[in-house]
A and B are shown apart, each in its own frame.
Chain A
């Protein structure tokens, strides 16, 4: 195991993040505040409570998930796409590093960034609403697993993408809608029954539900189903990555 190389990749990627630290910090703070103003104040004045929780607090887990998923995906994809795009990937390919080490470096950094942003949002939210976290360990576990699995998804996208449009396509057209429709801002039980059934095909529902459970103790779907969902999603991503590495697909000519 070439730990030095993993470290080199990880910190090289993190340095990119720290260079724009202010930006990385300010934009989630502002967007979270906006969500609270729009959703919390405007909608929240009409919807008093959801499942016994104030609406403002109810949307916090969904808000965090929304940012964490999109950030992990886009960071994960950009990290590996950029060297491919400008050609510096030659260095990774000719160095004594295994694919697993490359993966560890890039996905680790992307997940760390997403985790950081998730925590910033959590802290911002705590300013606006009264938050209690019932299951902090489960909360952290869900958060970390989501960061890692979506960073993996991003890594796959970054290898697949042939241009910047493709790179942005999936986060924009797939991840964001799935999260919005995944019960981030409402409880699935509030939907008409036909939509409740359709919603259950949205994998994000399970993640948001499980994450919300760790805050408030109630969920749209049983918690073990949520855990199963996030774990299987991670496993699927790992399998795809393993296949990519074994074949050199879109990495080596």
Chain B
């Protein structure tokens, strides 16, 4: 167990309760993706674990070290890439990175600096001032700053916000390399595909509560459902026999069919459904598909919780 969060609560000075008793455990070498709508409390959770805000109650243990009682030992293990780009505009890339390493009590290590900057395609920019960099480069500088002290637990707060497709891919390559080195990673994102691509487990946060945390595979099934809607040319009074057995439903007005299927399965059954329809002499007007969105799933999860 690398990270253990117990009943963590955070009430801000405004009286707003951003974390309502969150508990979770993360294993060594695991990648956990935290999903949740804006204002859910993802950043608050990360800030509290990293020491940027004080918890109102509850405890956080990192590799056996309590973040308040053994803050030095605990923080030495942690790297943080914040959500907002916060860098000193007039500093040079190399200086700001060496500064970060120094803060963690480590002497300058030129070989490591070069390795990390090269991996993040920043080596050419090492003598540039921060203000001369593009947004995506600045985000990579933040990542380099978080990696330079060789953390064992890395927080990435929306690392791919405002990052282009190519860079996103290279960022995931970096994450994959870190995982290979045994680094535990907790990241937040709004993109379900992103969580799907790299996470081992996914946690969903809403309104300061951890609604669920489970393995990617089982969660993806819920997200993987799609609805196929077929509009018919003529009203249908009853479904043909070979269709009614399946997940097909006829609307009340008899003018459309809906079919729920799983994109993750090898056979979605769409071909069969369509050929059955044409065999039965049913003519189609239009076809559309719908995916249950992240928001819908949140809503459903919140409803389930309330019941």
- Which of A's residues lie within 8 Å of B, judged by CB? 2-5, 7-9, 12, 15-16, 19, 82-83, 86-88, 90-98, 248, 252-253
Contacts and interface: CB of A to CB of B under 8 A. Distances in A.
Interface in B70-126: 71-76, 78, 80, 82, 84, 86-90, 95, 98-107
A54 to B, nearest CB: 44
A92 B54 contact: no
A86 B103 contact: no
A252 B103 contact: no
Given A8-B99, A15-B95, A96-B76, A88 B105 contact: no
A57 to B, nearest CB: 40
A91 B99 CA distance: 10
Nearest to B13: A253
Given A4-B107, A12-B95, A94-B52, A87 B102 contact: no
Contact of A90 (B13, B72, B82): B82
Nearest to A86: B86
Given A94-B78, A252-B53, A253-B12, A8 B86 contact: no
B51 interface: yes
Given A5-B102, A86-B88, A90-B47, 16 more contacts: A2-B72, A4-B105, A5-B105, A8-B99, A16-B90, A88-B87, A91-B145, A94-B51, A94-B80, A95-B100, A95-B103, A96-B71, A248-B54, A252-B52, A253-B12, A253-B13
A72 B170 CA distance: 46
Contact of B103 (A8, A82, A87, A253): A8
B175 interface: no
B52 to A, nearest CB: 5
A98 B75 CA distance: 11
22 contacts: A5-B102, A5-B103, A7-B102, A8-B102, A9-B102, A16-B90, A86-B89, A87-B82, A87-B86, A90-B52, A90-B82, A91-B103, A91-B145, A94-B80, A95-B104, A96-B71, A96-B76, A97-B103, A98-B72, A252-B53, A253-B13, A253-B53
B50 interface: yes
B103 A88 contact: no
Nearest to A92: B103
